[in-house]
């Protein structure tokens, strides 16, 4: 199979979907790999690094899309890439369709098969291709939040951990999954007072066992959220309902309860965001103010730490790329239900129930085992 890797063109995206060892493994398995020139530059990987491992370096994204049977990416195809998609081609990337109807329409029309990293789910309910990026974003959310709490960045002028004699910041994390747990760990490690909320009581039990004493677990309901956001110096949005738009747990009205100069980092913005006033931003212009509250809503947070993220992502994507390239998508999806669950669009139809329900569309099964 011809596997193609275009350069990522989303604003401030420095990741790439394949590292040289991936090229080596694919070519050893008999596949042909096309890499767009400069694709690895943001992650410190040169064309030579790929070429030395068996890749053919091609001069344009158009050539990658024209020749590749399997396109492997990091972010959803951007509007300028939509005309390049070819019917019958398989694309493996993060799509986050529930937050982007124009993208879904474009992909349906293109006739490609869209395999979404974020809905590949293993038999234990885990999301193996979401986890490493959530680990990065969760840890980074505190690093960014701490920065925007500084006064020159319009924050409250607080040091997250305080100092002897001065109280630490109050950090509220909504959602105790991978992002939330990593955020809580880092914030607690810096000495902040942390509260983490979830609706899954077993998850709260687990978090209460493993997290340090400066983290309090709370059940997530309307009243608790409203009480906690009034105290928050830093609020992290880390909620996920698979495939669906994130529920808006903090309304525009609730925002008035927050302290001036408090910071919201809504990590869940890629699925729509759990704060009503959140709208997508980029690393070049990551924040904006609403009612005196700093909003940080970058949709591709891991992109800024491209080296760490590229390696963390490709560690987990390569086995799937090898499996799909080796067996073809149909056979791979029949024998590996995780891959079948990843197929969101096929033959112009939505094949993920949550995505279809989000837009009131019909859905079809991708394969019999799905």
Ligand X SMILES: NC(=O)c1ccc[n+]([C@@H]2O[C@H](COP(=O)([O-])OP(=O)(O)OC[C@H]3O[C@@H](n4cnc5c(N)ncnc54)[C@H](O)[C@@H]3O)[C@@H](O)[C@H]2O)c1
Residues marked as catalytic: 96, 270
Contact 3, 73 (CB under 8 A): no
| 265 lies in the binding site for ligand X (CB under 6 A) | no
Q: Considering only residues 16, 160, 239, 250, which one is a binding residue for ligand X as defined by CB under 6 A?
A: 239
What is the distance of C-alpha 243 from the center of its chain?
12
* Secondary structure of residue 275 in the 3-state scheme: strand
Contacts with ligand X in 116-135 (CB under 6 A)? 130, 133-134
| 249 lies in the binding site for ligand X (CB under 6 A) | yes
User: Residue 65 and residue 71: Cα distance in Å, rounded?
Assistant: 7
| 90 lies in the binding site for ligand X (CB under 6 A) | no
Closest separation in Å from C-beta 354 to ligand X: 12
Q: Considering only residues 3, 106, 116, 178, which one is a binding residue for ligand X as defined by CB under 6 A?
A: 178
Closest residue to ligand X, judged by C-beta, is 177
Instruction: Please name the residues in contact with 318: beta carbons below 8 A apart, sequence gap of 6 or more.
Output: 18, 21, 22, 25
The residue (of 215 and 267) whose beta carbon lies closer to ligand X is 267
Contact 91, 84 (CB under 8 A): no
Burial (CB count <10 Å: 0-12, 13-18, 19+), residue 256: exposed
Stretch that binds ligand X, among 38-46, 76-84, 208-216, 263-271 (CB under 6 A): 263-271
Q: Considering only residues 53, 113, 268, 310, which one is a binding residue for ligand X as defined by CB under 6 A?
A: 268
Q: Considering only residues 27, 37, 200, 214, which one is a binding residue for ligand X as defined by CB under 6 A?
A: 200
The residue (of 301 and 324) whose beta carbon lies closer to ligand X is 301
| 247 lies in the binding site for ligand X (CB under 6 A) | yes
Contact 284, 11 (CB under 8 A): yes
| 238 lies in the binding site for ligand X (CB under 6 A) | yes
Closest separation in Å from C-beta 1 to ligand X: 29
Give the position of tokens 């105790």. 176
Contact 76, 112 (CB under 8 A): no
């Amino acid at each position: 199979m011809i596997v193609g890797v275009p350069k990522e063109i989303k604003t401030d995206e420095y990741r790439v979907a394949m590292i040289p060892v991936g090229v080596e493994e694919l070519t050893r398995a008999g596949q042909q790999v096309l890499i767009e020139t400069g694709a690895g530059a943001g992650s410190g990987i040169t064309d030579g690094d790929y070429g030395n491992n068996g890749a053919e370096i091609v001069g344009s994204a158009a050539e990658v899309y024209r020749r590749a049977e399997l396109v492997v990416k990091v972010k959803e195809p951007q509007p300028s890439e939509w005309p390049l998609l070819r019917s019958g081609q398989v694309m493996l990337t993060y799509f986050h369709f529930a937050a982007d109807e124009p993208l879904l329409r474009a992909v349906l029309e293109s006739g490609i098969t869209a395999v979404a990293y974020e809905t590949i789910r293993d038999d234990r309910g885990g999301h193996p291709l979401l986890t490493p990026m959530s680990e990065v974003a969760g840890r980074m959310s505190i690093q960014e939040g701490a920065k925007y709490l500084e006064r020159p960045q319009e924050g409250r002028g607080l040091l997250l951990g305080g100092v002897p004699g001065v109280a630490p910041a109050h950090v509220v994390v909504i959602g105790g999954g991978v992002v939330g747990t990593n955020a809580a760990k880092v914030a607690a490690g810096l000495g902040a007072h942390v509260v983490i909320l979830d609706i899954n009581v077993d998850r709260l039990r687990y978090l209460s066992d493993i997290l340090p004493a400066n983290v309090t677990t709370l059940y997530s309901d309307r009243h608790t959220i409203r009480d906690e956001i009034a105290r928050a110096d830093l609020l992290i949005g880390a909620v996920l309902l698979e495939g669906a738009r994130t529920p808006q747990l903090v309304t525009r009205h609730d925002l008035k309860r927050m302290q001036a100069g408090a910071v919201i980092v809504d990590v869940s913005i890629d699925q729509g965001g759990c704060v009503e006033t959140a709208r997508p931003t980029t690393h070049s212009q990551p924040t904006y103010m609403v009612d005196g509250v700093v909003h940080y809503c970058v949709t591709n947070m891991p992109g800024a730490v491209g080296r760490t993220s590229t390696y963390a992502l490709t560690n987990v994507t390569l086995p799937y790329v090898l499996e799909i390239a080796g067996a073809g998508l149909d056979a791979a999806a029949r024998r590996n239900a995780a891959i079948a669950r990843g197929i969101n669009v096929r033959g112009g139809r939505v094949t993920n129930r949550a995505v279809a329900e989000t837009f009131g569309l019909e859905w079809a099964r991708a394969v019999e085992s799905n």
